[in-house]
Amino acid sequence: MDERRLDGNATAGVLAEIFTFEMTTARTACVHCGATGEVGAQMAYVSEIGTVVRCASCNNALIRVARQDDGGRYWLDLRGVKYLQLEEHL
């Protein structure tokens, strides 16, 4: 167990700054191994330099987010996911 590993729910804050949908319950499919699951059930590495959501099955980087330190600009890389399935919560 890596001491700096968090679960995907730790990314709720930064993802909520970008997406209007609740992202921790969004389902992903990993480009590398095909595993599917909710973002909140994946692994997360969160630091000042950026946030990385990694596949709980194969460790592939699913979602990467970097934020300029003044908060004025974000970069989002979704190359690690085949798709995101988003649910509207009414």
Partner 1 sequence: MGRGFFSRGFRGRRRESEGDDRIPPGQYLVDGFPVLSAGPTPRTPLAEWTFTLDGEVDEPRTWSWEEFRALPSEEVTRDIHCVTKWSKLGTTWEGVSVDTLLDGVDTAAEYVVGFCDGGYTTNLPLEDVTDGKAWIAHTYEGEPLPPEHGGPARLLVPHLYFWKSAKWVRGLRLAAADEPGFWESLGYHNYGDPWREQRYWGD
| Ordered DSSP codes for 44-60 | EEEETTEEEEE-TTT--
What is the smallest separation between the CB atom of 82 and partner 1, expressed in angstroms? Answer: 18
Instruction: Pick out residues in 70-89 that bind partner 1 (CB under 8 A).
Output: 73-75, 77
Q: Taking CB under 8 A as the rule, does residue 68 contact partner 1?
A: yes
Residue 34 gets the label, from left (phi > 0), alpha (psi -120 to 50) or beta, of left
Where on the chain is the footprint of partner 1 (CB under 8 A)? Answer: 2-5, 43, 45, 47-50, 52, 54, 59, 61, 64, 66, 68-69, 73-75, 77
